[in-house]
A and B are shown apart, each in its own frame.
Chain A
Amino acid sequence: MRAEALGSHRYSCVSSELSNALIPLVVSERSCLAFYRALCTRFSVEAAGGPDDYGPIELWMPTGRLRWDRALSAIDYADMRLVIHENPGFLATFASSSTRDMDDDLLRAEYESFDAYPEPTKGGRARLQLPAQLIQPRSFRTVWTLTSPMAHGADEKSGNVNLFRRHRVVDALTGSHAYVPFMAGNAVRGMMRDMVMGRWLGLLGLKASDIPPARAHALLAGGNVEQGVDTGNVRVDVRKRARALCPPWDLLGGCTDQQIMAGRARIHDAVLVCRENAWQVHQALGVETKDLDEWAETLPEAAELTQLRLGTRHAHRELEDSGGSQMIFNVELLLSGAQMVHSFQVFSLDGVDQVTASCLADLLEDFGAHGVVGAQNARGMGLIAFNPYEPGPGTPELPDPTIYLEYVDAHRDEMIEWAMMRGEPDAPARASGKGGRGGKKGPPPPRATAEEQAADRETF
């Protein structure tokens, strides 16, 4: 790299720019050659040499020199991706060490220092023996098909590139590792929480901004534990009241009125249908284990399923007093047409109240009607199509959503009172006793007796 080509400011910050650029480049390109071309272009380097550059770029090693194209031919791009994802700064450190000012002895000493490193080893890549049949936990699942590209922000920033979220996975068919795009269960859970709480408040004729901020924070973001609160002090009356009066709360839980409460639902990561995940998703797509290898070969690798999209924001300087700033940015998107398997569990469905299970059914209907996941929905990202969630082996069907809707209608006043309450009183709370819109009287019932629960087990 030359300071004249980059400019003095960029040249002085070249290591951080390189570090930020490596991951976006490695996910946007599909081969070592393409990656190298993109890298050279970014830093105005002529790989083949030019009038102002040294000759073709060469790799200098203690044993001699090797031209760049030959060096690249020995690199497995999957390995390169893995190393860059692990630590782009590692490579940037080497690349930005200048050797121009070193004399030959110093340079030789630096090369010889590599001898102190142990020989690189590759972890075992043993294929795992997959079982023909598993004892499967009860769950509901479906397959999302993306009808528009999807965005889901990565854990770390890479300059002006907003990458898709990835995690490391083991491919049981090959024993190798890869960084694969996924959508976090926590993100899906948050989206479902917004949806189900918003719908519940809407049924009550409320907006989130109408209720006390602490309650709104609990409903929409899970709440928080106040400083100094004894979280070991379980108040069953407070919990029962919350679960009875807010079925979505029973479903998703959180912390309210100094009570940390577990929800019934466990929302899983959305797993990308790709070669690396084939062993995990084949059953959801109706592929038998004996056909798995052949089917996996037909799937694209995860790295083939994303692309960078360039976005711009204009300053509109033609407008008087325009204070905006011009910027470009890249967003990595999962391609339209990609599929993801999504599942969740309700634990334990046998012990879950009918109203809560019905609330879940209502949420899933609402989710299906919206059909949007991930970020940047306002730009049209994240549209999905999917069949209704199917119960897996041994999983009972969910009840009809009308049970939930009728329950909300019948206990509307008590629910509004709970939603508007600023903290539970010390004494066990009493229901208002006023009838709801449906005219039913009485306090919120304990949801179901043991006998009723037993009956529920047979019905859903």
Chain B
Amino acid sequence: MAIAKRLFDAVVVGAGGSGLRAALHLAEAGLKVAVLSKVFPTRSHTVAAQGGVAAALGNSEEDNWHWHMYDTVKGSDYLGDQDAIEFMCRKANEAVYELEHFGMPFDRTPDGRIYQRPFGGHMQEYGRNPVQRACAAADRTGHAMLHTLYQRNVRARTQFFVEWMALDLIRDAEGDVLGVVAMEMESGEVMIFQGRATLLATGGAGRIFASSTNAFINTGDGLGMVARAGLPLQDMEFFQFHPTGVYGAGILITEGVRGEGGYLLNKNGERFMERYAPNAKDLASRDVVSRAMVTEIKEGRGVGKEADHLLLKLDHLGAEVINKRLPGIRDISIKFANVDPIQEPIPVVPTAHYMMGGIPGNYRGQVVAPGVSGAEEVVRGLYAAGECACVSVHGANRLGCNSLLDLLVFGRAAAQQIIEDLQREPHPKPLPGDAADRPLARLARLETQQDGESVAEVGAAMRRVMQAHCGVFRFGDLLEQGVARIKEVAARAAHTGIKDRSKVFNTARVEALELDNLIEVAMATMISAAARTESRGAHTRDDYPDRDDVNWLKHTLCFKDGPRLEFRPVHLKPLTVASFEPKARVY
């Protein structure tokens, strides 16, 4: 079947923070760019980031990027690649100043500089005291950033394809990526976006879990495309559970609440984090705080009828600070928890939040995979940035505010690499004859499937399995069962059926296609988690409670065929400074 085709210099899939930052750089360089997004750009999930973007500006206290780098390496539980971490932390100030110049409405200090607040795991002097490093626009930093980046793209006349869903990558016989096949949601039309470069910026996949802070659109589309194209997914066992999701609703409550002075309480009214992290207390890394919370609940000190959550107290900050610095949090608490935090604590529970793993890449935004030349052969034509990428700057556990920084730094870096690569290779390669076969077959199956199981039911089954078998604390037997059960769910997902057969805005079809991607992510997550017999960062195993640097200081690569695992070494050597050697992690 002949389908329409358009050629671009660069095809960017996703219009969140990293996609927009990359698109801006590409458009300003005069390249012909297509940005595809399932939603209008300002609806991307970057919009929901609250607390801040990390950069050692030192606007209120002494700070420098070396300390930030140390915190990030330590936060990653030494699984982060130190070259990439150095790159990100060194570029942070420039990235944030640039955003300010674009018009970002940061809050201000009395002397007019960007306001910064403390955040979990960000410390002075290599781990000594919490430092004000999170550059904030109230508790709506992601919203302010996403809109600012979109606005700047309007100025640059970037070409958007809004409500287009990318379905699959196009790879030729040599393994080079030549673009994507995508579907316009409004018309159902399928088109080839041939790209001399293809950048995946498709965000996270929190929707593999039943309880998640993530938006409905966070379905790991880039990861699904990569897995189906035969490329690996890296470090998928590391999924961050944010300490403070609203109990019952899962909505994020920023760590900025604790940055501004809020703290957690158990049923006895005890500030329990003092026992788990005597120095950083409530501002320890997220993995540390979430484990402490689940331990409190398991040991019977949870609050509520089911004793299954904890309390986040901030009333002592006073109405003025709450209304000025945390207005969105107050709004969310009133709407979703029926409490006004000026008077009462917020009921919270650790909630699936951020995928540290993703599409393996380097700090230039190039996607890499094992090949004839070694473990990190560049996949020509393919780039990744943002949450969908595993660079890896977050390793086994991401620090708060490093995600927005990641989007800015690596969005731009990937775009810069694309500009340079396109100068070297000015001509597009010919498309293979089977370029659109896989996505067309997926669509054809949905067209013809009879008596298929509902997408909603299979999706719910997947989320239940992930929640029950792959949570904050993981158990060997549960993980083994989890692998078997997620394979059963995957088999069911191959036979889903939809009743809606129309072309125009068929959201049932979109959800079925999204489920394909979620299943790839869930499968890789469960299999990688079952294989890693140690505890590191967010991956905590009851049966292997210690970190094992001898056997496991390495990245996991999970391939769809099999599925099978390979591993590659961690980059312990930074670009210019001395390595931070792994040591015990104490907050």
A and B associate:
no
